[in-house]
Structure 1
Amino acid sequence: MIDEEAGSTPKNPHPARLDELDERIVAILERDGRITNADLAAALDVAPSTAHARTRSLVERGVIRGFHASVDHNRLGRGLQAMIGVTLRPGARHDAIVQFADEVRRLPQVLQLFFVGGVDDFLVHIAVEGSSDVRRFVVDHLSAQQSVASTRTSIIFEYHRNAVGAPFR
């Protein structure tokens, strides 16, 4: 299954109405996106054909946008993660925002890119080998852009995703 591009408009922009079975399917798939249809059906106490049809419906309605691998970046030699707040210069904001997002989200160090309201315009979540790589990323890829007014870097010691702890070791 291919994930839709982040920020793309779902097929149906209205909130999906989910019944109890749909909610249970979503909860199970959030915990284990690789569960087999047979195991999903058993966990739900429904026929495999029902589990398959309901999951397909959730995908078609845009509730489930993709299935993703949880990667251990430490095993890839990118054990240091950071969240970098980026403030853009005032002015031609729309063009600067679009250009910044297009350029930064394609960088291999970037895990996630958030366009936010508040002090920062963007939060850039990266994974790199060490602190010198964080510095190099900020200097080469963020501060070097004319549209960037300032950056604030926070090192991530530990994170939690969907109630699952993922400490850095």
Structure 2
Amino acid sequence: MDAIDKVILGELVRDGRLSFRDLAARVRLSPTATAERVRRLTESGVISGFRAEVDLAALGRPLRAYIDVRLRPGPDHADLEAALLTLPAVLECVHVTGRWDYTLTVACRDVVELDELVMALPRAYGSVETDTRLLLRTVEGSGAPSISALLA
């Protein structure tokens, strides 16, 4: 990966919908050469996909939270992982190290739905302890665009 590839990645992180023509103008290559570089970056796995950013509040799920989950020791958690990901509120389920086994990222309609989810974790999913943190706001500039700093 050379300096031009890094600029291409930075531009695509900022705006994944750029046309090859617009991207080419920003990196001072032809659209064909730019498209070829994006194809190579995709085939090599550096670019893993292009996604739409969704406003969860506009979808009726304005309440976001992280839920740390500790489970009983023992059984394989594959069934639990699959079950959690079928819940509409669960956006992400991450297996982590440390005191907790999983961290869930959830988007709920309201506190009632969040409460129901937290209460279901021990009954239906075998958690022995949870810790819930509400997301108050996202600091501007955090998230995917910060990847640009890695490309410098």
Give the Cα separation in 1 of the matches to 2:127 and 2:41: 39
Structure 1: gaps (5+ residues): 1-17, 165-169
More RCO (CA 8 Å, sep 6+): 2
- Give the percent of matched residue pairs that are identical in Structure 1 and Structure 2: 34
Report the CA distance shift for 1:102/1:162 in structure 2 as closer, same or farther (over 3 A).
Answer: same
Counterpart secondary structure, 1:158: coil
Structure 2: gaps (5+ residues): 147-152
| TM-score when normalising by structure 2 | 0.87
What amino acid does structure 1 have at the position aligned with 2:134? I
Report the CA distance shift for 1:48/1:146 in structure 2 as closer, same or farther (over 3 A).
Answer: closer
Q: Describe how 1:115-126 pairs up with structure 2 within 5 A.
A: 115-126=95-106
Q: Report the aligned-residue RMSD.
A: 1.5
Give the Cα separation in 2 of the matches to 1:31 and 1:163: 6
What amino acid does structure 1 have at the position aligned with 2:100? D
- Residue of 120, 145, 149 corresponding to 2:128: 149
Aligned-residue offset at 1:83: 0.3
Aligned-residue offset at 1:102: 1.4
Aligned positions, number: 143
| TM-score when normalising by structure 1 | 0.79
Deviation readout 1:88-129 (Å, 9 max, x if unpaired): 11123xx12x22221112322122221111111111001111
Task: Detail structure 1 runs of 4+ shifted over 4 Å in the superposition.
Answer: none
Aligned to 2:4: 21
Higher normalized helix content (fraction of residues): 2
